């Protein structure tokens, strides 16, 4: 992964990790998603469902949260698929 892309993703992770504990939880992800136009019109249940799916996709150690490395790896995999 290019240095600039990694730096941008690390900055995005810091924004998602609202409490600064090094992990993104479903709650933190939901709070972020609610700020995006794409999710504003969805019900609370749909936002919860979407965040749970994103957590499952990235959470390789199944601890229910996304570490910075899991976040970076998931995005790297996604970017490879999109190219």
Is there a domain that residue 81 lies in? Answer: no
| Each residue's pLDDT tens digit, 14-47 | 999 999 999 999 999 999 999 999 998 999 999 9
pLDDT score of 2: 82
Rounded to a whole number of angstroms, the CA Rg of the chain reads 13
Is there a domain that residue 47 lies in? Answer: yes
pLDDT score of 43: 93
Tokens 């390789």 locate to 60
Structure tokens at 7: 């730096």
Please count the structural domains in the chain: 1
Write down the number of H helices and E strands in the chain. Answer: 5, 2
Higher pLDDT, 5 or 19: 19
Is there a domain that residue 28 lies in? Answer: yes
Is there a domain that residue 58 lies in? Answer: yes
Structure tokens at 11: 């900055």
Is there a domain that residue 37 lies in? Answer: yes
Is there a domain that residue 83 lies in? Answer: no
Rounded to whole angstroms, the Cα distance separating 77 from 58 reads 10
DSSP code at position 21? S
pLDDT score of 77: 87
Domain of residue 28 covers 3-64
- pLDDT grade for 63, boundaries at 50, 70 and 90: very high
Is there a domain that residue 74 lies in? Answer: no
């Amino acid at each position: 992964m290019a240095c600039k892309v990694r730096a941008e993703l690390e900055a995005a992770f810091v924004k998602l990790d609202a409490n600064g504990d090094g992990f993104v939880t479903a709650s933190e992800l939901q709070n972020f998603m609610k700020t995006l136009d794409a999710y504003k019109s969805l019900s609370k249940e749909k936002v919860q469902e979407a965040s749970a799916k994103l957590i499952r996709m990235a959470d390789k150690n199944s601890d229910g949260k996304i570490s910075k490395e899991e976040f970076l790896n998931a995005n790297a995999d996604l970017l490879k698929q999109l190219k």
